[in-house]
């Protein structure tokens, strides 16, 4: 019997309407468009302003976009995974609510969090369910309302993050496409450099913490930057070497959109031509779990069946890695 591989067979996405530009940020904190552009590559990001709506709102919209494009019956979806660092609530699954709202009533569902690597790890998890032969339709959604974690008085973080969501469908295939290899790693000693300290079980929220903004995301940018550059490039090189790939046989690099300089450094490490590097950080900033599927959505029309795509990410934890996937369809299929 031929080996079952997990292929991405559809993509959907959603970003909120409100555009937070560098110019608007200049009126909020001591920063400027020139600094943000040269240090990060970001020009604008989207923010979900809707009162009473959280990450599930973004996830549902992205999933509905995929369902409409692929014209599938949501009742055929067997598993919904929401990769997110900003769940709707502390003790109720965002994925369960999302699945119910999109009509995936025959599915089970769960959230998974690996900070900015949530979607990358989610690709591994979703694929495993397919490769086992036990499931045939797994919906993986990467969604984050990062604005719910951000202090818009802290210029070290508020210029970076944005809100958004993207979704992919994994299905089984016996063709020579789908997820081929992965190199995933974690090092929890790095958590002090990127965290939202208060509101979890180590430091439950107190009035004092709230007054001091202890519930917001904190980042020691330089340390995270150095670790991201080294580890994302290292994981990418390992996956290339293991699969006898080089700059000519790689068609695309889909790297987590945290900082254009980190993405450029990864591409340079493997000497990849600029036109093969997917980039949309200028439009959305760092949407955490949504960056990779938002890239796929933006580049979907350019992807061809058999294209070799390297996914790479690095994020809080630290968590990082790279995945090699062969694209499974031409967009007009």
Question: Beta-carbon neighbour count of residue 220 at 10 Å?
Answer: 13
- Please identify, using beta-carbon distances, which residue of 159 and 165 lies nearer to ligand UT7: 159
- Cα R_g (the chain), whole angstroms: 19
In the residue annotation, 212 being an active-site residue is answered as: no
Give the shortest CB-313-to-ligand UT7 separation in angstroms: 8
Q: How far is the CB of 33 from ligand UT7 (least distance, A)?
A: 10
Selected catalytic residue, list 116, 158, 297, 319: 116
116 is catalytic: yes
Site string for ligand UT7, 93-122 (x = CB under 6 A): -----------------------x------
Site string for ligand UT7, 126-165 (x = CB under 6 A): -----------------------------xx--x------
Q: Which of these, 100, 62, 81, 74, lies nearest to 140 by C-alpha position?
A: 81
Computed from CA positions of residues 27, 213, 315, 63, in that sequence, does the dihedral angle turn out positive or negative? negative
Q: Pick out residues in 50-89 that bind ligand UT7 (CB under 6 A).
A: none
Q: Which of 227, 286, 297, 319 is catalytic?
A: 286
Sheet holding 252-255, edge to edge: 178-186, 319-326, 308-315, 252-255
Asked if 286 is an active-site residue, the reply is yes
Q: Which residues are within 8 A (CB) of 280 and not within 5 positions of it... i.e. 6 or more apart?
A: 257, 294, 295, 298
Site membership for ligand UT7, residue 317 (CB under 6 A): no
Binding-residue total with ligand UT7 (CB under 6 A): 20
Which residue spans within 31-137 are E strands per DSSP? 44-47, 79-83, 108-112
Of the residues 183, 225, 299, 311, which one makes contact with ligand UT7 according to CB under 6 A: 225
Binding of ligand UT7 by 259 (CB under 6 A): yes
How many whole angstroms separate alpha carbon 271 and alpha carbon 264? Answer: 10
Segment interacting with ligand UT7, rule: CB under 6 A, options 12-20, 32-40, 77-85, 102-110? 32-40
d(CA 268, CA 101): 43
Q: Is 230 in the site for ligand UT7 (CB under 6 A)?
A: no
- 275: which residues sit within 8 A by CB, 6+ positions away? none
Between 102 and 165, CB nearer to ligand UT7 = 165
Q: 3-class DSSP state for residue 308?
A: strand
Cβ contacts of 155 within 8 Å, gap of 6 or more: 29, 30, 31
Q: In a 10 Å sphere around its CB, with 0-12 CB exposed, 13-18 middle and 19+ buried, how is residue 152 labelled?
A: middle
**Identified binder of ligand UT7 from the candidate list 258, 279, 295, 312, rule CB under 6 A:** 258
Q: How far is the CB of 6 from ligand UT7 (least distance, A)?
A: 25
| Residue 87 vs 172, nearer CB to ligand UT7 | 87
56, 61, 312 from 316: Cα distances, Å: 21, 26, 14
Q: Tokens 């045939």 belong to which residue?
A: 136
By CB under 6 A, name the one of 9, 40, 84, 118 that touches ligand UT7: 40
With respect to ligand UT7, which residue has the nearer C-beta, 36 or 325? Answer: 36
Pick from 59, 67, 120, 262 the residue near ligand UT7 by CB under 6 A.
Answer: 262
- Contact set with ligand UT7 (CB under 6 A): 31, 35, 39-40, 116, 155-156, 159, 221-222, 224-225, 228, 258-259, 262, 286, 314-316
Active site residues: 116, 256, 286
């Amino acid at each position: 019997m031929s080996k079952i591989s997990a292929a991405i067979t559809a993509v959907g996405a959603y970003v909120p309407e409100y555009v937070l530009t560098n110019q608007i940020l200049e009126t909020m904190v001591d920063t400027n468009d020139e600094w943000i552009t040269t240090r990060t590559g970001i020009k604008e990001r989207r923010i979900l302003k809707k009162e009473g709506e959280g990450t599930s709102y973004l996830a549902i919209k992205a999933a509905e976009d995929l369902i409409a494009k692929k014209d599938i019956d949501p009742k055929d979806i067997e598993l919904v995974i929401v990769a997110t660092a900003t769940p709707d609530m502390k003790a109720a699954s965002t994925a369960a609510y999302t699945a119910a709202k999109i009509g995936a009533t025959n599915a089970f569902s769960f959230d998974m969090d690996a900070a900015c690597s949530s979607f990358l790890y989610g690709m591994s998890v979703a694929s495993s369910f397919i490769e086992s032969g036990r499931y045939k339709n797994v919906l993986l959604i990467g969604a984050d309302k990062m604005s719910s974690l951000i202090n818009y008085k802290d210029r070290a973080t508020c210029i970076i993050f944005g809100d958004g969501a993207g979704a992919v469908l994994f299905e089984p295939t016996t063709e020579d496409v789908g997820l081929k290899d992965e190199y995933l790693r974690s090092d929890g000693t790095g958590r002090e450099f990127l965290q939202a300290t208060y509101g979890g079980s180590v430091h439950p929220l107190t009035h004092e913490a709230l007054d001091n903004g202890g519930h917001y995301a904190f980042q020691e940018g330089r340390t995270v930057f150095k670790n991201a550059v080294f580890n994302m490039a290292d994981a990418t090189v390992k996956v290339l070497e293991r699969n006898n790939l080089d700059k000519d046989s790689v068609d695309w690099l889909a790297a987590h959109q945290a900082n254009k300089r980190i993405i450029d450094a990864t591409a340079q490490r493997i000497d990849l031509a600029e036109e093969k590097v997917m980039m949309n950080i200028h439009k959305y900033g760092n949407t955490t779990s949504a960056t990779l599927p938002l890239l796929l959505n933006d580049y979907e029309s350019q992807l061809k069946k058999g294209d070799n795509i390297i996914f790479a990410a690095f994020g809080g934890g630290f968590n990082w890695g790279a995945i090699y996937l062969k694209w499974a369809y031409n967009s007009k299929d």
